[in-house]
Amino acid sequence: MVEKECRGHVVVLPYPSQGHINPLLQFAKRLASKGVKATFATTHYTFKSICAANVGVEPISDGCDEGGFTQAGNEELYLKSFKANGSRTLSQLIQKFQDSKSPVTCVVYDSFLPWALDVAKQHAIYGASFFTNSATVCNIFCRIHHGLLSLPVKLEDVPLLIPGLPPLNFPDLPSFLRLPESYPAYLAMKLSQYSNLDMADWIFSNTFEELEGEEAKGISELWPAKLIGPMVPSAYLDGRIEDDKRYGASLWKPIGEECMKWLETKAPKSVVYVSFGSMVSLTAEQMDEIAGGLKESGLPFLWVVKESEHGRLPDGFVESAKEKGLIVRWCNQLELLAHPAICCFVSHCGWNSTLEGLSLGVPMVGVPQWADQLTDAKFVEGIWRVGLRAKEDEKGVVRKEELVMCLKQVTTEGEKSREIKKNANKWRELAKKALGEGGSSDKRINEFVEQLILRANESYDQKREAAAAAKDIPNGHH
């Protein structure tokens, strides 16, 4: 009987927040669709929220099994606990499969968790780092790590001229560059991504050649990443993974029906969708301005306002907006963006949301708040030209007049709006092409799978030889 070809077994390990789980789970599904055994290793706290066809899910411990990050209290303590407990339990997971038909051949780990690479190496298996930011942002932080760019960046240092990147002005820089002391633990985590990267067998980045090829090339000597994105469910791109409409992970209960029913009553390309992601927390003043801007724009809108922020909405706004708007606590963003009624996406410009907007061809208005969102917003407006970035005042607040002006420019028929819509469609097609058969991202993923198959078959042959030797039977004879 001919032995079935071994196609490898990959354990995929995300940092346990929604924006990191989604792209890594999507990558696991991509690998599974190519015949690789994929196991998603996630913390006990997030374990029950994951459900994806053809991907196994196994719990590991971050030491905060009951309450996740909130149990730890702060970023520094959490990362320390995750490193200690995660290293031990990831090692146990690899061990668990050791004598099975499909031992683990590679750990694909979130770049926020560099200790996972040490664990992979202790088990003599491949380790691959997966970056969930744009190549542009990776280019910047990799330079800081290697001492090629010093912090803080001061006003006289701009525009910042970095190989592969467009000139970056002060408002375009990740907030950590201007205020390194603002979130020291986050900055340390950002920089630690590059600490042992020279030991990694692969580096993956959730972006694509057509979108950020130059930006990646500008740092390829220090960060030789394979661009394999956009990691968005297949239904919206190449359609090659059956029934792949959702990521398969929701740390919140999405409200689907209500949103969809409401959208069905709206005209095509008429609704503004507003969401600031899972991490951003707006001030009451900023909420007030956005509420006023949406109301004054006269456009129908659907606004996702998290439970924790409902109290910051202006008094009486939910009632008074009923005519024009719907306010929900959470929803399935992709299904919403894909709906024909949506005309514009008001976003914080987190990288996943930016990729989703690009992949679905939806014009954007960026209202970035912190970290990398500022840089992503620069590209949305100035480089890919798929939207506008709303300008803040001297207090760092986007006023309602500014929001109304941006919405008008993006949605009202005119030269600017036509250019934005044309570019949005262009990027949507390029994103589809990248992940479609023979596309730039698809090729990189296939090369990875080929290497896994080679390694899996080598180790299978070694096991057979060892078993044959143990029985003292000449190899190949039964």
Active-site residue numbers? 20, 110
Q: How many domains does the chain have?
A: 2
Residues whose CB is less than 8 angstroms from the CB of residue 331 and which lie 6 or more positions away in sequence, other chains included: 254, 255, 256, 259, 275, 302, 304
Does 208 share its domain with 118? yes
Distance CA 169, CA 188 (A): 23
Question: Within this chain, do residues 386 and 450 fall inside the same structural domain, yes or no?
Answer: no
Whether 421 and 441 share a structural domain = no
Write down the pLDDT at residue 3.
43
Q: Distance (Å, rounded) from C-alpha 47 to C-alpha 68? A: 11
What local confidence, expressed as pLDDT, does residue 5 receive?
59
Q: What is the pLDDT of residue 470?
A: 72
Q: 414 and 441: one domain?
A: no
0.75 surpassed by pTM: yes
User: Looking at residue 29, which CATH number applies to its domain?
Assistant: 3.40.50.2000
Helix, coil or strand: residue 273? strand
Let me know if residue 413 belongs to a domain: yes
| Alpha-carbon gap, residue 303 to 308, rounded angstroms | 14
Binned average pLDDT, 10 residues per bin, the chain of 478 residues: 66 95 97 96 94 94 85 85 97 94 95 98 97 98 96 92 96 92 90 97 98 98 98 96 90 74 94 92 95 96 92 91 89 93 98 98 97 97 98 96 98 95 98 98 97 83 71 54
Query: CB-based burial of residue 240 (10 Å sphere; 0-12 exposed, 13-18 middle, 19+ buried)?
Result: middle
Looking at the fold, whether 298 and 344 belong to one and the same domain comes out as yes
pLDDT of residue 252: 66
Within a domain: 4: no
Are 104 and 244 members of one domain? yes
Judgement on whether residues 187 and 264 belong to the same structural domain of the protein: no
Determine the structural domain holding residue 417 and report its residue range.
257-432
* Res 68: pLDDT: 80
Residues 90 and 201 in one domain: yes
Question: What is the distance between the alpha carbons of residues 344 and 206, in angstroms, rounded to a whole number?
Answer: 23
Which pLDDT does position 237 carry in this prediction? 96
Q: Is 352 domain-assigned?
A: yes
CB contact burial 110-126 (16+ within 10 A = b; e otherwise): bbbbbbbbebbbebebb
Please state, in angstroms and rounded to a whole number, the distance separating the CA atoms of residues 458 and 247.
33
CA 74-77-80 angle, to 5 degrees, is 145
CA distance 473 to 98: 24
CA distances from 263 to 268, 292, 340 (A): 9, 22, 9
3-state secondary structure of 173: coil
Q: Measured between alpha carbons, how far is 438 from 267 in angstroms, rounded to an integer?
A: 37
CA distance 20 to 477: 49
Considering the domain boundaries, does residue 1 fall inside one?
no
Catalogue the long-range contacts made by 416-421 (C-beta closer than 8 Å, 24 or more residues apart).
Answer: 417/363, 419/385, 420/363, 420/385, 420/386, 420/387, 420/388, 421/363
- In a domain? residue 477: no
- In sequence order, what are the beta bridge partners of 178? none
- Give the model's pLDDT for residue 463: 67
Measured distance CA(448)–CA(91) in Å, rounded: 23
- Measured CA to CA, the distance from residue 102 to residue 113 in angstroms comes to 24
Task: Determine the pLDDT at residue 457.
Answer: 81
**Residues 389, 346 share a domain:** yes
- For residue 364, being part of any structural domain is answered with yes
Asked if the structure places residue 475 within a domain, the reply is: no
C-beta of residue 213 within 8 angstroms of C-beta of residue 227: yes
Burial of 6 (0-12, 13-18, 19+ CB in 10 A): buried
Dist CA 225 CA 203 (whole Å): 5
Phi-psi region at 76: left, alpha or beta (left = phi > 0; alpha = psi -120 to 50): alpha
C-alpha–C-alpha distance, residues 225 and 122, integer Å: 23
Q: Are residues 161 and 235 in the same domain?
A: yes
Query: Residues 406, 447: one domain?
Result: no
Residue 379: name the closest of 406, 359, 358 by CA.
358
300 and 155 in a single domain? The answer is no
